[in-house]
Homo-oligomer: A and B are copies of this chain.
């Protein structure tokens, strides 16, 4: 992704080289990748999802790389919806998702990356983290459970950990789903009002909403500290679900197409086997 003045990724992609992210400067309702109508964009997402399915198949056959996608964002920012729209056409064999929750007591008895490391992708595998190790900085920072020095240490530990993965051929893409506070209000209200969605609502969501500004600041710091060439962040304007899917699918496709994916070399003797 080149950095020309017309590069559409420029305001959204952060790899630690130059501009520092300012979330307030990014409009959650922007649609920089839209091709026109919502209908057109939806068709494009469907087409990309099918193409990603084929790329996943080749990626698996190739076996030289691993793929780790991190989805972060406040409640209702659309992590589940992204999974369905962007990864939903792949075979269940091809993609593994891990939904991270607050660590258990026995997990907290280890360093915060212990349980994460166990779940990273193996050769040829796509893994999507629905929330991630970033929660282990964002939440305690906002709740005042760790101080700035500890947050800084954790960011450095995350960078080292992600570099370890990248040096073992893990492609890492980190997406921050960026919605407005008003969009979250509407989505939470929808959950409450719809009896079939009410079970998804948790009172704790309202507590986190009270800390909206703190979370925005915490995200900004996290992205600034951990946007690296080997594990870039992409801030995705996500008030529009269709555009969010389009942008993530487009970024994923570009990352996969930039690899020299190929089927493994054949054993030349195999082609002539006749099965008895």
Which residues from chain A sit less than 8 Å from chain B, CB to CB?
Answer: 61, 80, 83-84, 87-93, 95-97, 99, 128, 130, 185, 188-189, 192-193, 195-196, 198-201, 203, 206, 209, 263-264, 266, 270-271, 273-276
Contact = CB atoms under 8 A, between A and B. Distances in A.
A263 B201 CA distance: 12
A88 B188 CA distance: 29
Contacts of A206: 273, 275
Given A198-B266, A270-B198, A275 B192 contact: yes
Contact of A92 (B88, B201, B264, B275): B88
B93 A92 contact: no
Contacts of A264: 199
Contacts of A273: 192, 206
B199 A61 contact: yes
Considering residues A93, A188, A189, A263, which has the most beta carbons from chain B within 10 angstroms of its beta carbon?
A: A93
A270 B87 CA distance: 32
19 contacts: A80-B93, A83-B91, A84-B91, A84-B92, A87-B92, A88-B89, A92-B97, A93-B97, A93-B99, A188-B275, A189-B274, A189-B275, A192-B270, A195-B266, A196-B263, A199-B263, A199-B266, A206-B273, A206-B275
Give the interface centre of A95, A130, A273, A275 by most chain B CB atoms within 10 Å.
A275
A80 B97 CA distance: 18
A187 to B, nearest CB: 9
- In the A-B complex, the 9 residue pairs with the smallest Cβ-Cβ separation, listed nearest first, are A84-B91, A188-B275, A189-B275, A87-B92, A92-B97, A61-B199, A185-B275, A199-B264, A92-B95
A119 to B, nearest CB: 12
A112 to B, nearest CB: 21
Contacts of A198: 263, 266, 270-271
A62 to B, nearest CB: 9
Nearest to A86: B92
A79 B112 CA distance: 36
Contact of A195 (B95, B188, B200, B263): B263
A274 B209 CA distance: 13
Given A206-B275, A209-B275, 5 more contacts: A80-B93, A189-B275, A192-B270, A192-B273, A199-B263
Contacts of A91: 80, 83-84, 88
A276 B188 CA distance: 10
Nearest to A266: B198
A202 B187 CA distance: 50
Contacts of A185: 275-276
